[in-house]
Amino acid sequence: MSVSPVDLPIPKDGKLKGSIELADQGLSKAGRVKRRLTSRRATFAALIIAVLWTTPTFGLLVSSFRPAEAIRETGWWTFFSNPALTLDNYQDVLLSSSQSSPQLGAYFMNSLAIAIPATIFPLVIASMAAYAFAWIKFRGSGWIFIVVFALQIVPLQMALIPLLQVFGTILRPGQEFLHDIIPSIPEQNYLPIWIAHTIFALPLAIFLLHNFITEIPGEVIEAARVDGASHMQVFIRIVLPLALPAIASFAIFQFLWVWNDLLVALIFSGGTQDAAPLTQRLAELTGTRGQDWQRLTAAAFVSLIVPLIVFFGLQRYFVRGLLAGSTKG
Amino acid sequence: MTTADLIGKIVQVAGGLAIFAAVIGLILFIVDKAPKRSRDYFQLAAFIGPALILLVGGLIYPAIRTTSLAFFNRTGDPVGFENFIWAFTQPDAVRTLVNTVIWVVLVPTVSTAIGLAYAVFIDKSRGEKFFKALVFMPMAISFVGAGIIWKFVYDYKSQGRDQIGLLNAVVVAFGGDPVQWLQTGPLNTFLLIAVMVWIQTGFAMVVLSAAIKGVPTEQIEAAQLDGTNAWQRFRNVTIPGIRGSLVVVVTTISIATLKVFDIVRTMTAGNFDTSVVANEMYTQAFRANEPGRGAALAVILFILVLPIVIYNVRVLRSQKEIR
């Protein structure tokens, strides 16, 4: 892998653009015309791809604001010749308390309650392990690190059945015990999902953070060590603040992954309002009420809102995290 | 959801976070106060212990258990390779394997190709960031959400009625008969693949776009001065320059594709000959009460991924040596 993150041009975007403009000026007139022609065709192709890629999502957005009747009978594109807007669908899926309504409020809370701890736990544990692999010298560290890296690719599916059994024998009695003491904590709680997500996130998190933490100049850490700082002090005072950008970008990544996950939720949540996330509810709705289009559209958009906000708001960090993972691996 | 439920949930989250913080804080505190002589060992154990315990208990042990589970039937009797024989002979199971191969061949190649083309087309154009965001957006959408979004593309209504699925509307507008897209094999597998391509293209595009910008401009200029056309420059300068990133994109998407579950689950539930290994594994283990067969499929999945692991480990080791 010849590409190293140092060469990535994101931070020096401006500088690059400048040099290209200079190059353009040096070109002959014919060259410039030719270049513009090919780029016009390329722009057209790019436009087509962009439209193809956006249309499905746009269709869903439009549909979610149309009356139930209209969604069932006509395509969403007829909206433009015959506009009719309503917020009923959203009201129905979010606020209605009738039995048949999806009652997404509780599931929305569950998604949040799962995603936030399931982002924090692996990050803390992984950054500690990554620090140890990078700056504490011990025999076999290289090999253990490679094993951890390789675990990244063990399919989730392989771990699910035995992990469920482990949870059943160890966690389950504890949960029932808790439920007996504090009845407002349901028997089926988030603990198994948190632990499962934490475990599944660790290999990638350790690997990415390790890459970043090894880049910290050794002199800084050695100087602190010579001054008598313990590993804990070095870790908290020096490494964590310096690694913050990497931690932030992985946090976004992990949050989206947990929020969007269905498989882990299906197996560990129990599927009730107590702990099941939005994705699971949505999957249920597509299965059992495939014909309730108006509810499906609004429910889908409710589930998209949070990832889309995270994505558009923090896009820069998200992209940086992806790049850190892929140009190194 | 009642207010009591809501409070219960908030208490759970706050409690979980507080207990976690207390445990980690306690570990670090104790280690810091540990006797000087063996301090280094304590510190090492504290930093690396939690991760290793979770990984051994949550990934390594389960993976070994699953592998052994694959040699037992539903009543717990050892059956040797019967579950694997089932996976490679039963028409349904074979269909699943074939579908998985189709997925893993098509998704990485198509999405990388489109992503690369798009990245090149919009490179240095006006509004590049905006164009990137449009194609990248599906990455943030859950597979389940994507399934619902695409239902509005593939929906079918019988002939004569207004079509509400985009694809059928187009077909009818051109005078064709509406098609039951998701029920018609083998077409439906390809239509599900299109959804996965839709999601993964953004990833390929963003990574490759960054790589393209990393190709030294001097090389491109030199090629320009030699009188090459755009295609030749792309073929002979850009592609070799981004080879590393290309490999990473293809392997990453391949792994994601091998594990694909949600799309198939929500769009067809694996019916109409669309099932893939990951979905079938779930069906067998958790719906059909055949954990042995599910485990066998999981092992097959692992063996399919293995070459990619070995390749990546080799790359990683060569990187470590450089360092």
Q: What is the Cα–Cα distance from B303 to B66, expressed in whole angstroms?
A: 13
Contacts of B234 (CB under 8 A, 6+ apart): B120
Span A93-117, mean pLDDT? 78
User: Which residue in chain A has the smallest CA separation from B221?
Assistant: A23
- The amino acid present at B105, given as its one-letter code, is V
Q: What is the mean pLDDT of chain A?
A: 75
Residue A280 has pLDDT above 50, yes or no: yes
CA distances for B177 relative to A250, B28, B161, B181, angstroms: 48, 69, 11, 12
Taking contacts as CB-CB distances below 8 angstroms, the residues of chain B near A144 are: 52
Contacts of A84 (CB under 8 A, 6+ apart): A66, A67, A70
Angle between helices A141-151 and A104-135 (to 10 degrees): 160
Distance from the A44 Cα atom to the nearest Cα atom in chain B, whole angstroms: 9
Reduced to 3 states (helix: H, G, I; strand: E, B; else coil), residue B78 is: strand
Please report the pLDDT score of residue A21 as a whole number.
Answer: 42
CA distances for B88 relative to A139, B54, B70, angstroms: 43, 34, 14
User: Which residue in chain A has the smallest CA separation from B282?
Assistant: A157
| pLDDT per position as a tens digit, A241-278 | 888 878 887 888 888 888 888 888 888 887 677 778 88
Q: What share of chain A in percent tops pLDDT 90?
A: 3
Q: What is the Cα–Cα distance from B205 to B207, expressed in whole angstroms?
A: 6
Q: What is the Cα–Cα distance from B231 to B215, expressed in whole angstroms?
A: 16
Contacts of B165 (CB under 8 A, 6+ apart): A75, B151, B152, B153, B154, B155, B156, B157, B181
Q: Which member of A50, A151, A279 has the closest CB to residue B144? A: A279
CA atoms within 13 A on the CB side of A138: 18
Span A112-127, mean pLDDT? 90
Cβ atoms A126, A243 nearer than 8 A: no
Please report the pLDDT score of residue B110 as a whole number.
Answer: 93
User: Which residue in chain A has the smallest CA separation from B43?
Assistant: A231
User: Which residue in chain A has the smallest CA separation from B315?
Assistant: A1
Nearest CA to A224 out of A139, A135, A287 is that of: A135
Please report the pLDDT score of residue A38 as a whole number.
Answer: 57
Give a three-class secondary structure readout of chain A.
Answer: CCCCHHHCCCCCHHHHHHHHHHHHHHCCHHHHHHHHHHHHHHHHHHHHHHHHHHHHHHHHHHHHCCCHHHHHHCCHHHHHCCCCCCCHHHHHHHCCCCCCCCCHHHHHHHHHHHHHHHHHHHHHHHHHHHHHHHHCCCCCHHHHHHHHHHHCCCCHHHHHHHHHHHHHHHHHHHHHHHHHHCCCCCCCCCHHHHHHHHHHHHHHHHHHHHHHHHCCCHHHHHHHHHCCCCHHHHHHHHHHHHHHHHHHHHHHHHHHHHHHCCHHHHHHCCCCCCCCCHHHHHHHHHHHCCCCHHHHHHHHHHHHHHHHHHHHHCHHHHHHHHHHHHHHC
Taking contacts as CB-CB distances below 8 angstroms, the residues of chain B near A17 are: 124
Please report the pLDDT score of residue A145 as a whole number.
Answer: 83
CA angle A63, A65, A68 (to 5 degrees): 75
Nearest CA to B120 out of B109, B110, B108, B132 is that of: B132
Reading the block at residue A63, the tokens are 């549909």
Give Cα B75 to chain centroid, integer Å: 33
Reading the block at residue A133, the tokens are 């692999």
Residue A34 has pLDDT above 50, yes or no: no
Please report the pLDDT score of residue A20 as a whole number.
Answer: 41
Please report the pLDDT score of residue B112 as a whole number.
Answer: 92
- Test B1 with A20 for CB contact under 8 angstroms: no
Distance from the B297 Cα atom to the nearest Cα atom in chain A, whole angstroms: 9
| pLDDT per position as a tens digit, A55-80 | 888 888 888 888 777 777 777 777 77
Please report the pLDDT score of residue A10 as a whole number.
Answer: 40
Quote the ipTM score: 0.77
Q: What is the Cα–Cα distance from B60 to B54, expressed in whole angstroms?
A: 9
B25 burial type by CB count under 10 A (0-12 exposed, 13-18 middle, 19+ buried) = exposed
Cβ atoms A286, B147 nearer than 8 A: yes
- Test A59 with B312 for CB contact under 8 angstroms: no
Please report the pLDDT score of residue A165 as a whole number.
Answer: 81
CA distances for B101 relative to A23, A67, B258, angstroms: 46, 42, 9
Reduced to 3 states (helix: H, G, I; strand: E, B; else coil), residue B72 is: strand
How many interchain CB pairs under 8 A, A with B? 378
- Test A149 with B312 for CB contact under 8 angstroms: yes
Residue A326 has pLDDT above 90, yes or no: no
Please report the pLDDT score of residue B113 as a whole number.
Answer: 92
Please report the pLDDT score of residue B130 as a whole number.
Answer: 83
- Tokens 């590409």 sit on residue: A3
| pLDDT per position as a tens digit, A123-180 | 999 998 888 888 887 787 778 888 887 787 677 777 877 888 888 887 777 777 776 7
Torsion over CA: B94, B95, B96, B100 (sign): positive
DSSP state letters, B274-300: T--HHHHHHIIIIISS-HHHHHHHHHH
| pLDDT per position as a tens digit, A167-214 | 888 777 777 777 677 666 666 678 888 888 898 888 888 888 887 788
- Test B269 with A287 for CB contact under 8 angstroms: yes
Q: What is the Cα–Cα distance from A134 to A131, expressed in whole angstroms?
A: 5
Q: How many residues does chain A have?
A: 329
First-to-final CA distance of chain A: 8
Q: Which member of B43, B62, B266 has the closest CB to residue A163? A: B62
Q: What is the Cα–Cα distance from B277 to B298, expressed in whole angstroms?
A: 8
Give the residues of chain B that fall short of pLDDT 50: 323
Q: Quick one: residue B141, left, alpha or beta (phi over 0 = left, psi -120 to 50 = alpha)?
A: beta
Nearest CA to B152 out of A286, A94, A277, A260 is that of: A286
Residue B78, strand partner residues = B72
- Test B206 with A319 for CB contact under 8 angstroms: yes
Residue B72, strand partner residues = B78
First-to-final CA distance of chain B: 55
Q: Each residue of B166-183: b (16+ CB within 10 Å) or e?
A: bbbbebbeeeeebbebbe
CA dihedral defined by B263, B267, B272, B278, rounded to 10 degrees? 20
